[in-house]
Amino acid sequence: MKMELTKEFADRLQLMVESGDSMAIMEELQDLHPADISDILEALVPNESKFIFDLLDKEVSAEVLMNFDEDYRDRFMKLLSTEEIVEQVDNLETDDAADLLGEMEEEEKDEIISKLEDQEHASEITDLLKYDEDTAGGLMHKEYIKAKAHWAVDRCVIELRRQAEDVERVYSIYVVDKDDRLLGILSLKSLLFAEPKTKIEELYNKEKLHFVKTHEKAEEVAEMMEKYDLVSIPVVDRQEKLVGRITIDDVVDVIKEEAEKDFQMASGISENVESTSGVLKNTRSRLPWILIGLAGGVAASQIIRGYEGQIDVNPSLAFFIPLIVATAGNVGVQSSAIIVQGLASKNFQFSGIFKQIGKETLVGMLIGLICSVVIFGINLAVGGEYLLGLTISISLFVVVICAAILGALVPLLLDKVNIDPALATGPFITTANDIIGLTIYFMVAYFMYL
Amino acid sequence: MKMELTKEFADRLQLMVESGDSMAIMEELQDLHPADISDILEALVPNESKFIFDLLDKEVSAEVLMNFDEDYRDRFMKLLSTEEIVEQVDNLETDDAADLLGEMEEEEKDEIISKLEDQEHASEITDLLKYDEDTAGGLMHKEYIKAKAHWAVDRCVIELRRQAEDVERVYSIYVVDKDDRLLGILSLKSLLFAEPKTKIEELYNKEKLHFVKTHEKAEEVAEMMEKYDLVSIPVVDRQEKLVGRITIDDVVDVIKEEAEKDFQMASGISENVESTSGVLKNTRSRLPWILIGLAGGVAASQIIRGYEGQIDVNPSLAFFIPLIVATAGNVGVQSSAIIVQGLASKNFQFSGIFKQIGKETLVGMLIGLICSVVIFGINLAVGGEYLLGLTISISLFVVVICAAILGALVPLLLDKVNIDPALATGPFITTANDIIGLTIYFMVAYFMYL
């Protein structure tokens, strides 16, 4: 059932491409889902996969194209002529077509739209291109089914049959008034079981109507569909007229990208990069945080230089620099991660910043205390210098509390001023805590060895 | 449209609870979605929210219960008598009922099931309780609609009307043979437009049938539904008999939890913790990695102690310890994050470990080179000691390459032996790289100052 792609299969296919054996290729691919064909083609270089791509049904190849990784699609598109792109766009659903065209130059866009056969399709795509891709308008498509409230069931079924030709999957029917204003939602189930002469306005669900407006943010749409367990949601314009539909599969991508973005930011990766991205893109996405970390390291070196006298007096102090900075970093990263996740799932709606900071302080005190006791115990056990052990333990306690508070505070403050709090996770927090941790360590040492 | 919960609203509701004003409470809540009511009740202590909960329709309160955060639900459930739980379970869908019962003691479970009114509901729940919650069986529910292949459309509509009473949302109809073996899927759309005497076997889609088996992992189900853009998927047992259905809303939760788990692991959090979790749970989830980091810090102190002679000769070497360990940590975390995400999205199906390691080595060389040049330049600009600048630059170059390779290698190896590669992100990689980085740094210094 599930498609397992093997290296052998990819190699075999490559041989078929080299010998130009179209029949054998079609035989291999005919029962596969377009998403599987995309995976297979991605294992070949674009020139080879283009040979296979040209053999596919136009409807299948359009889906294969949209299932490619973004990087691979960019490379692949360079092999297609304008006419070939027009042919693909003709077969794409409106939202996919708009996404594909959105990546192109303005002139190329206009040329392709002007060459589309289906005028209605062309104007729908043009409409979708108006919207920012991170809004409901950018996510929606034009393939949905609507019924007027004053229709009877039998007329509705006839009208729907005509509309449904273009709509691959029908989850529900949107009920509108004469001016196309959204009134409610009618399930296929209730239509199926209704009497032919019943009016639609008696059947549809008027309560708890969920919809979004075109300018709402993609993440808000995702939150709403997730919270209310919706499979599709109608989109209206500022006059509340029905203009599109968003389905859950597009929103799943938004949810995943959002989660991946947080993970990447927490790992110090500044632009979206995949394991398949090239060496240069990979390096470029990683360099900013490394350089910021490097600047932090230089700053830390100056702090230590400021306390050089103490290291001269007691060189052992230098041994525990990594312990202090690593613990500060680790605790800070944990705090910021918990806060960022809490903000993402809107857990702080009723409780203020102070409550969260208070809790992090308590957690920090507990972790700090345990760390201090452990280190003090180890020092005693190995017969280390008493004063040094005390210095490290006291520093650790203070450093852990500060790191926990800072790790929680920075994302909460960023969120207040509408900056993505995930910025404050990972390297940023680690670098800040390194510097603060070292300062505390040497200040404590200064007083201990006074 | 979208429910915005304000502190004022929560306070007002609390006053109503205190004065026992049921009418006013019902007025406030009557038009709200159960998911919104859950959010509101979570702002109150369980005792207060229980008062409101008891006022709700049983069908609404069952949904409210399932929409609670897990932590809040645990506390809330303690307030419910066995009879009240039985009443809730009666109104829950089978998968939710099984989830709720799954959290209870065996005896309590049996008592509740034995008291359920609807015997069919009870046996369906009992069946679902057999499955591991992380498998397709654990995700599925028993509310689905099936049709026998030999039925005609008109008979089918009559049978479906009966079945559909229990099924809140119908996306498609599962077609089975006389022994309940799954044959294919029939869309409501095709049923709606079909002639009454047509046989179902002529209508349903026999190609590209997607299904899962009860023992398949939840993540595999999620991957499949995501890849093929499915809204629901039928579940079959080992004999390919239809036993359940999984819908996309349950799978969205799996996808989110998976992403959050990776993010938490990368941040050094060892068990699932939320911002709303208590101080003790929060501390417990964070302590393991902090203590491992602490052990790494102790190990690092011993390495530095081993090179104490060199610090005596040139104390400035100690200043740059944070710079070396921070950079090693940051680069390692980036590499591991990219590899973990690549593994999660199955990007390496065709390319071996060596190709990935090779790429990471190249990226590491590039980043290492840039860092070295920057540090060497800064050192020259501020008129620092030439030999020291050279030592740091050479060390950084080697350390960054090693960190990049290690960061990529460990998750790839863990994945090979079927351990979650996300274990190797965050504090683990940071700690390992601290130790390796320091060793390299002092070895380079040893040769430079020989």
pLDDT confidence of A350, banded at 50, 70, 90? low
Mean pLDDT of A116-126: 91
pLDDT of B351 strictly over 70: no
**Tell me, what's the pLDDT at A351?**
64
DSSP alpha helix (H) spans, B149-278: 153-164, 188-192, 200-203, 218-227, 248-266
Do A275 and B339 make contact, defined as CB atoms within 8 angstroms?
yes
For tokens 């308008």, what's the residue?
A: A137
Confidence of residue A243 (pLDDT cuts 50, 70, 90): very high
Whether A139 and A254 have beta carbons less than 8 Å apart is answered as yes
- Which chain A residue has the Cα nearest residue B275? A342
Q: Dig out the tokens for B442 from the structure.
A: 């002092």
The partner residue sitting opposite A333, judged by closest CB among B252, B268, B370, is: B268
Token pair for B419? 């351990």
CB contact under 8 A, A268 and B333: yes
User: What is the structure's pLDDT at A70?
Assistant: 83
Q: Tell me which DSSP letter residue B307 carries.
A: T
Question: Is the per-residue pLDDT at B303 higher than 70?
Answer: yes
- Please write the tens of the pLDDT for every residue from B18-66: 998 888 999 888 888 899 899 889 888 888 899 999 999 988 999 999 9
A342 contacts in B (CB within 8 Å)? 274-276
Which among A189, A304, A430 has the least Cβ separation from residue B188?
A189
Question: Among all chains, which residue has been given the structure tokens 């990069």?
Answer: A273
Interface contact B44, partner A, CB < 8 A: no
pLDDT of residue B349: 59
Would you call A291 an interface residue with chain B, using a CB distance cutoff of 8 Å? yes
Band of pLDDT at residue A277, cut at 50, 70 and 90: confident
* SS3 state at B121: helix
pLDDT score recorded for residue A2: 46
Full strand arrangement of the beta sheet holding B232-236: B212-213, B232-236, B242-247
Please check whether residue B143 is in contact with residue B245, taking contact to mean a CB–CB distance below 8 angstroms: yes
pLDDT average, residue stretch A291-317 = 89
Q: pTM of the full predicted structure?
A: 0.81
Predicted confidence band of residue A4 (pLDDT cuts 50, 70, 90): low
Residues of A in contact with B162 (CB under 8 A): none
The domain defined by B146-256 folds into CBS-domain (3.10.580)
Percentage with pLDDT > 70 across chain A: 97
pLDDT the model gives residue B350: 57
Closest approach of B350 to chain A, Cα-based (Å):
6
Check CB contact of A301 with chain B, cutoff 8 Å: yes
Rounded CA gap, A158 and A181, in Å? Answer: 21
Q: Exposed e or buried b for every residue in B225-241, given b needs 16+ CB within 10 A?
A: bbbbbbbbbbbbbeebe
- The rounded distance, in Å, linking the Cα atoms of B59 and B259 is 32
Cβ neighbors of A17 (< 8 A, separation 6 or more) are: A25, A44, A48, A51, A52
The pair of three-digit structure tokens given for residue A134, joined into one six-digit string: 């991170």
**Rounded distance, CA A36 to CA A271, Å?**
28
User: Given this model, what pLDDT does residue B407 score?
Assistant: 93
Residues of B in contact with A29 (CB under 8 A): none
CA distance A182 to A211: 9
Mean pLDDT of B189-212: 86
- Which residue of A43, A189, A322 is in closest CB contact with B297? A322
**Given an 8 Å threshold on Cβ–Cβ distance, is A330 in contact with B290?**
yes
> What is the bridge-based pairing of β-strands A146-148 and A172-176?
parallel
Beta-strand pair B146-148/B172-176? parallel
Which contiguous run of DSSP H or E holds residue B369?
helix B353-381
Q: Which of A126-130, A209-213, A311-315, B248-252 has the lowest mean pLDDT?
A: A311-315
CA dihedral B375, B378, B379, B384 (to 10 degrees): -150
Q: Is A322 on the interface with B (CB under 8 A)?
A: yes
Tens digit of pLDDT for each residue in B112-131? 999 998 899 999 999 999 99
Q: Which CATH architecture has domain A7-139?
A: Alpha Horseshoe (1.25)
**Domain B7-133, CATH homologous superfamily name and number:** MgtE N-terminal domain-like (1.25.60.10)
Residues 384-423 of B with CB under 8 A from A: none
According to the 3-state scheme, what is the secondary structure of A62-127?
A: HHHHHHCCHHHHHHHHCCCCHHHHHHHHHHCCHHHHHHHHHCCCHHHHHHHHHHCCCHHHHHHHHH
User: Using a CB-CB distance cutoff of 8 angstroms, which residues of chain B are in contact with residue A415?
Assistant: none
> Is A371 within 8 Å of A400 (Cβ atoms)?
yes
Predicted confidence (pLDDT) at residue A1 exceeds the cutoff of 50:
no
Say whether pLDDT at A189 is over 60: yes
In whole angstroms, give the CA distance from residue A18 to residue B25.
Answer: 73
What does the alpha-carbon distance between residue A198 and residue B356 come to, in Å, rounded to a whole number? 63
Size of interface A-B (CB pairs under 8 A): 355
From chain B, the residues in CB contact with A409 under 8 A are: none
Q: Quick check: A315 contacting B, CB < 8 Å?
A: yes
Contact by Cβ (8 Å): A140, A187: no
Q: Shortest CB distance from A290 goes to which of B297, B330, B378?
A: B330
- Domain ranges in chain A are 7-139, 146-256, 279-448
pLDDT at A92: 92
The single-letter DSSP state of residue B219 is: H
Tens-place pLDDT, residues A351-390: 677 888 999 999 999 999 999 999 999 999 988 889 999 9
B355 touches chain A (CB under 8 A): no
| DSSP bridge pairs for B420 | none
Of chain A, the percentage scoring pLDDT greater than 90 comes to 49
Span B9-15, average pLDDT: 85
Q: Which residues of A touch B427 (CB under 8 A)?
A: 330, 333
Q: Please say whether the beta carbons of B275 and A348 come within 8 A.
A: yes
User: Distance (Å) from the C-alpha of residue A297 to the closest C-alpha of chain B?
Assistant: 4
What's the number of CA atoms in the CB half-sphere (13 Å) around residue A401?
16
What pLDDT, in 10s, does the model give residues B54-110? 999 988 999 999 999 888 898 899 999 999 999 999 999 999 999 999 888 889 999
pLDDT at B263 over 90: no
Q: Say whether pLDDT at A28 is over 90.
A: no
Closest partner residue to A297 (CB to CB) among B318, B327, B348 is B327
**CA of B262: which chain A residue's CA is closest?**
A263
Q: Where are the beta strands (DSSP E) in B237-345?
A: 242-247
Cβ contacts of residue B370 below 8 Å, gap of 6+? A287, A291
Question: Taking residues A256-276, what's their average pLDDT?
Answer: 81
Tell me the two tokens of residue A75.
Answer: 């490379």
Residues 242-281 of A with CB under 8 A from B: 247-249, 252, 255-256, 259-260, 262-264, 266-269, 273-276, 279
| Contact check, Cβ <8 Å, A334/B170 | no
Partner B, chain A 81-120, Cβ-Cβ below 8 Å: none
ipTM of the complex in this document: 0.79
**In the predicted model, is pLDDT for residue A180 greater than 90?**
yes
pLDDT digits (tens, 9 = 90+) for A67-95: 998 888 988 999 999 999 999 999 999 99
Q: Please, which residues 11-40 of chain A have a Cβ atom closer than 8 Å to chain B?
A: 31, 33, 35, 39
End-to-end CA distance of chain B: 74
Q: How much is the average pLDDT of A171-183?
A: 91
pLDDT at B1: 40
pLDDT of residue A86: 94
Which residues of chain B lie closer than 8 angstroms to A163, CB-CB?
none
Of A224, A283, A431, the CB nearest to B367: A283
Mean pLDDT of chain A, nearest integer: 88
Q: Measure in Å the smallest separation between the Cα of A1 and chain B Cα atoms.
A: 7
Pick the residue of B33, B267, B355 with the most A CBs within 10 A to test the interface with A by mutation: B267
Are the beta carbons of B279 and A321 separated by less than 8 Å? no
Under an 8 A CB cutoff, do B325 and A330 touch? no
Q: Quick check: B278 pLDDT over 50?
A: yes
CATH architecture of B279-448: Orthogonal Bundle (1.10)
